[in-house]
Amino acid sequence: MGDQRLNAIRQKMAEASVDAFLVSKPENWRYLSGFTGDSGVLVVTRQEAFIFTDSRYTEQAQEEAPRFTVVETSQDKDAVKETILGLSARKIAFEKEHVSYSAWEQLKERFPDQELLGVSGWVEDLRQKKTPEEIEYITRAQEIADNAFALITQSVKAGVREIDLALELEFTMRKMGSDGVAFPVITVSGVRSSLPHGQPSEKRLEPGDFVTFDFGARFRGYCSDMTRTFVVEPLDQRHREIYETVLRAQLTALEAVRPGIPAKEVDLAGRKVIEEAGYGQYFGHAIGHGVGLNVHEGPRVGKKGETILEPGMVITVEPGIYIPGFGGVRIEDLVLVTEDGKRILSSSPKELTVVKAR
Ligand code: ZN
Ligand code: ZN
Judge whether 265 and 304 are in contact, CB under 8 Å. no
* Residue 134 burial (CB count, 10 A): 19
Q: How far is the CA of 317 from the centre of ligand 2 (A)?
A: 8
Instruction: Domain 132-355: give its CATH code.
Output: 3.90.230.10
- How far away, in angstroms, is 6 Cα from ligand 2 center? 29
- Domain 2-127: which CATH class? alpha beta
Q: What are phi and psi of 226, to 5 degrees?
A: -150, 160
Nearest CA among 74, 80, 37, 43 for reference residue 57 = 37
Q: Note the pLDDT of residue 1.
A: 54
Q: How far is the CA of 331 from the centre of ligand 2 (A)?
A: 10
> Which ligand lies nearest to the CA atom of residue 145 in the structure?
1
Query: Residue 178 in 3-state DSSP?
Result: coil
Which ligand minimizes its atom distance to the CA of 301? 2
- Residue 214 Cα to ligand 1 midpoint, Å, equals 5
Ligand 2 geometric centre to CA of 282 (Å): 17
Distance 145 CA to ligand 2 centre (A): 13
Strand order in the sheet with 210-215: 186-189, 210-215, 226-232, 354-355
Nearest to 282 by CA among 238, 313, 233: 238
Q: Which ligand is nearest to the CA of 228?
A: 1
CA distances from 237 to 242, 243, 244, 301 (A): 9, 10, 10, 31
178 CA to centre of ligand 1 in angstroms:
16
The answer to whether the 2-127 and 132-355 domains have the same CATH topology is no
The protein residues having their C-beta less than 5 angstroms from ligand 1 (an ion) are: 214, 225, 227, 332
- Residue 225 CA to residue 317 CA, distance in Å, equals 10
Ligand nearest to the CA of 197: 1
Ligand closest to CA 288: 2
Alpha helices in the chain (DSSP H): 3-15, 26-33, 58-64, 79-86, 101-110, 122-127, 132-152, 162-175, 237-256, 264-276
CB of 351 closer than 8 Å to CB of 230: no
- Ligand 1 midpoint to CA 295 (Å): 8
- Could you list the pLDDT tens digit for every one of the 358 residues in the chain? 568 999 999 999 999 999 999 999 999 999 999 999 988 999 999 999 999 999 999 999 999 999 999 999 987 778 999 999 998 899 999 999 999 999 999 999 999 999 999 999 999 999 999 999 999 999 999 999 999 999 999 999 999 999 999 999 999 999 999 999 999 999 999 999 888 888 999 999 999 999 999 999 999 999 999 999 999 999 999 999 999 999 999 999 999 999 999 999 999 999 999 999 999 999 999 999 999 999 999 999 999 999 999 999 999 999 999 999 999 999 999 999 999 999 999 999 999 999 988 7
Query: So where are the chain's domains?
Result: 2-127, 132-355
Give the number of the ligand closest to the Cα of residue 289.
2
CA of 150 to the centre of ligand 2 (A): 19
